[in-house]
Copies of this chain bind each other. A is one copy, B any other.
Amino acid sequence: MPEITINLAEGRTEAQKTAIMRDISASLVKHLGVDPEAVVIQINEAPPPNKMKGGMTFVERKAAGK
């Protein structure tokens, strides 16, 4: 505790995902005073057909250049 779940569209590199999780972990340790081992983060990635924003799936957004 605390537990962080990130909903993310597929396509980020392992380096990008590691970087954000490290920042989040460090921030929670710093501001909440918790033990680093207590901070658990999971990224749930969705393929493009499984995510929508603005009424368009991420398949449609890519096709539309968004």
Contact = CB atoms under 8 A, between A and B. Distances in A.
A62 B20 CA distance: 20
Contacts of A32: 12, 16, 20
Interface residues of A, number: 46
List the number of copies, as a whole number. 6
Interface in A1-20: 1-9, 12, 14, 16-20
Contacts of A16: 31-32
B26 A55 contact: yes
Given A39-B53, A45-B50, A7 B1 contact: yes
Interface of A: 1-9, 12, 14, 16-29, 31-32, 36-37, 39-46, 49-55, 57, 59
